[in-house]
Chains A and B, each alone.
Chain A
Amino acid sequence: QVQLVQSGAEVKKPGASVQVSCKASGYTFTGYYLHWVRQAPGQGLEWMGRINPNSGDTNYAQKFQDRVTMTRDTSISTVYMEVSRLRSDDTAVYYCTRGRPVSDAFDFWGQGTMVTVSS
């Protein structure tokens, strides 16, 4: 069965960086885009960007363009997202999610990783 398993919760200080991992299993890792979506406490869903695990190509939302880096390691079917220069408003649950072919709807989701940014 398809699973996306994310790394655990993080607490960081403003200005630091955080890396969240997402390990995929149960399907061909290189066959589907993986996306990152975040949700601040009590707020809605926000798309951050995506990575093509086959080529490593990425697309980022403009607001994250200079602070987010998405990478992958095909040998262990894992994608990573790093957010640098953290601010308090980056406090959120970060989800990785798989895009369906053609529609690119998000059909499987990781369990979420809570990142808290606090001095």
Chain B
Amino acid sequence: DIQMTQSPSSLSASVGDRVTITCRASQSISNYLNWYQQKPGKAPKLLIYAASSLQSGVPSRFGGSGSGTDFTLTISSLQPEDFATYYCQQSYSTPQTFGQGTKLEIK
């Protein structure tokens, strides 16, 4: 199975900050990397697919980059509604696997 490792596991930031979350795959996954946001008690929401493509309806302050084994999710200017948990996921091969999550908290 492909292991996905996110860092950091938690992060404190302020409204307006620029934030970067990283995700590393245990082997090359080309660009089959997706990012999700999850708020408490809610289903995850797709933000970025294929490493860098913005899902319809997602604000442009969210951006993704990377290929192969190393990927990043960047939020250019944090808004109050962005405080949540973020997961990366590889869809290169089954079993599809998720990172352990990054909890983004208000400083």
Contacts and interface: CB of A to CB of B under 8 A. Distances in A.
Given A44-B100, A50-B94, A105 B44 contact: no
B72 interface: no
Interface in A97-115: 97, 99-100, 102-107, 109-112
A118 B101 CA distance: 27
Nearest to B100: A44
B100 A107 contact: no
B43 A95 contact: yes
Nearest to B53: A103
Contacts of A50: 94
Interface in A10-50: 35, 44-47, 49-50
B49 to A, nearest CB: 4
A74 interface: no
Contacts of A109: 43-45
Q: Which of B49, B50, B95, B97 has the most CB of A within 10 A?
A: B95
Chain B interface, >50% SS class: loop
B55 A107 contact: yes
A111 B50 contact: no
Given A44-B100, A95-B43, A110-B43, A105 B95 contact: no
Contacts of A47: 94-98
Interface of B: 1, 32, 34, 36, 38, 43-46, 49-50, 53, 55, 87, 89, 91, 94-101
12 contacts: A44-B99, A45-B89, A50-B94, A59-B94, A61-B95, A62-B1, A99-B91, A105-B91, A106-B36, A107-B46, A109-B45, A110-B43
Given A47-B94, A61-B95, A105-B89, 19 more contacts: A44-B98, A45-B38, A45-B87, A47-B95, A47-B96, A95-B43, A102-B50, A103-B34, A103-B49, A103-B50, A103-B53, A103-B91, A104-B91, A104-B96, A105-B46, A105-B49, A106-B44, A107-B46, A110-B43
